[in-house]
C-alpha cells in the first residue's frame, strides 16, 4: 500500500472488512474450520473476483487471524440486546457483521464511529432497513459497553 492515496487505503480497508464478513458467514454456513475457510475464501474469491482487486490482504489477514482469539462475542452481543431479543433473532449475515465490528472495536486502533459506519454500509448490502437500524443501535450500545469496560 505504499504510495497509495488516502482514498485508496480507505477503499482497501472497506473491501477487507467486507471480505471478513463474507468469510465469517461462509464459516457459519458451511461449518468448516477456520484455516480451511480462510484458505478457501482467499483461493476462490479474493484471488479470482474483480471486486477484491483493491483489497488490503495484510489488513484482511490481520482481522481474520485475530478472530481465533478466545473472545466471547456472543456474551458481549447478548448482553447488549434488549429483553426478549436473542442472537437467534438475528440473520446469520447480520450476526457476522456485528461480530466483525465488535472484534475491530476490541482489538483495532480505529475510531469507533468509523468502525460502526463501515459495518453499517456492509450490512446495507445484505439486510433490510429495519435490521440495519437494529444493528446500528446494537453496535452503538456495544461500543459504549466496551468503552466502560476499558476504564
Whether 44 and 7 share a structural domain? yes
Pair 47, 101 in one domain: no
One domain, residues 75 and 61 = no
- Same domain? For 75 and 132 the reply is yes
- Same structural domain for residues 122 and 138? yes
User: What mean pLDDT do residues 115-131 have?
Assistant: 96
119 in Cβ contact with 97 (< 8 Å): yes
Whether 5 and 16 map to the same domain: the answer is: yes
pTM above 0.95, yes or no: no
End-to-end CA distance of the chain: 34
pLDDT top residue among 65 and 106: 106
Q: Given 9, 42, 68, which residue is the final one in a domain?
A: 68
What CA–CA distances, in Å, run from 38 to 46, 74, 99, 100, 123? 10, 21, 16, 15, 21
pLDDT for 68: 67
pLDDT at 91 over 90: yes
Give me the domain span that covers residue 83: 69-151
Mean pLDDT for all residues in the chain: 86
Average pLDDT over residues 26-49: 83
25 and 62: one domain?
yes
One domain, residues 58 and 86: no
Instruction: Using pLDDT thresholds of 50, 70 and 90, give the confidence band for residue 50.
Output: confident
If you count DSSP H runs as helices and E runs as strands, how many of each does the chain have, helices first?
7, 0
- Reported as a single tens digit per residue, the pLDDT across 51-70 is 888 888 888 888 887 776 65
Domain count, the chain: 2
Amino acid at each position: 500500500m505504499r504510495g497509495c492515496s488516502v482514498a485508496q487505503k480507505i477503499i482497501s480497508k472497506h473491501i477487507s472488512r467486507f471480505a471478513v464478513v463474507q468469510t465469517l458467514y461462509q464459516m457459519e454456513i458451511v461449518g468448516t474450520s477456520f484455516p480451511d475457510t480462510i484458505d478457501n475464501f482467499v483461493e476462490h474469491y479474493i484471488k479470482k473476483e474483480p471486486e477484491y482487486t483493491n483489497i488490503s490482504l495484510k489488513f484482511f489477514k490481520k482481522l481474520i487471524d485475530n478472530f481465533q482469539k478466545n473472545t466471547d462475542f456472543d456474551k458481549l452481543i447478548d448482553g447488549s440486546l434488549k429483553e426478549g431479543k436473542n442472537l437467534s433473532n438475528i440473520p446469520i449475515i447480520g450476526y457476522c457483521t456485528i461480530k466483525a465490528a465488535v472484534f475491530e472495536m476490541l482489538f483495532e486502533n480505529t475510531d469507533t464511529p468509523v468502525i460502526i459506519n463501515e459495518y453499517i454500509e456492509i450490512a446495507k448490502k445484505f439486510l433490510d432497513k429495519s435490521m440495519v437500524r437494529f444493528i446500528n443501535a446494537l453496535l452503538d450500545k456495544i461500543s459504549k459497553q466496551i468503552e466502560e469496560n476499558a476504564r
